[in-house]
Amino acid sequence: MKKKILFGSLLAVVLMMLVPSIPAVEYTSAVQAHETYVVEQLQTIEETPLIKLAHVLDKEGALQHFLDEQSAHPQCVSWILSLILTILLNILFIPLGLTVSIIVRLLFLPLNLLLLPLKLILLPLKILMIPIKLMLIPVKLVMRILFLPFKILDFINTILPPY
């Protein structure tokens, strides 16, 4: 049942991305209001070569064709649909990654069983190393504090251009 829902959702998102969306009525009215404002402003300005070129393009319909192409599929809708598609694909790949990790663990299980006696032999040595590791923690901290200015300078040198 979950597979059907997931597949249906994925199919719906892909189909929505393929079908161009229809612009809203508010968008069309806003474009028309903007066009009338621009036309009014252009009529008050005396004609220059740039305005003549705009009129020629508008007569040929290239400007309207460009506006139709831009409004056929708004970028925000494409972005949202691609985000939904990414989420759905990630949901599909989670079980696949879990399956691969289980298979890898099962493949290395015999190796871990073979190394178990060696781990048991080295366990006392590992226990003896714990106090030494604890004593080295303050030394590591002091060394990091001492080398911090050099790391900052190195970082600044990587940011600056080479010349």
- Domain map of the chain by residue range? 2-115
Distance of CA 146 to the CA centre of its chain: 38
Can you read off the two tokens belonging to residue 16? 């929505």
pLDDT at position 49 is 61
Can you read off the two tokens belonging to residue 43? 């009529």
Can you read off the two tokens belonging to residue 86? 């990414």
Quick count: other Cβ atoms within 10 Å of Cβ 13? 20
Residues ≥6 apart with Cβ < 8 Å to 88: 6, 9, 10, 13
Could you give the dihedral angle defined by the CA atoms of residues 127, 130, 131 and 135, in that order, rounded to the nearest 10 degrees?
160
pLDDT at position 86 is 74
CA–CA separation, 90 and 96 (whole Å): 10
pLDDT at position 129 is 93
pLDDT in tens, the chain (163 residues): 777 777 777 777 776 766 655 555 556 666 677 777 777 766 666 656 655 555 555 555 555 555 555 555 555 566 667 777 777 777 777 787 788 888 888 888 888 888 889 989 999 999 999 999 999 999 999 999 999 999 888 888 888 776 6
Closest Cα partner for 13 from 80, 71, 74, 72? 80
Closest Cα partner for 88 from 154, 163, 15? 15
pLDDT at position 132 is 93
pLDDT at position 88 is 75
pLDDT at position 157 is 81
DSSP 88-156: HHHHHHHHHHHHHHHHHHHHHHHHHHHHHHHHHHHHHHHHHHHHHHHHHHHHHHHHHHHHHHHHHHHHH
pLDDT at position 124 is 92
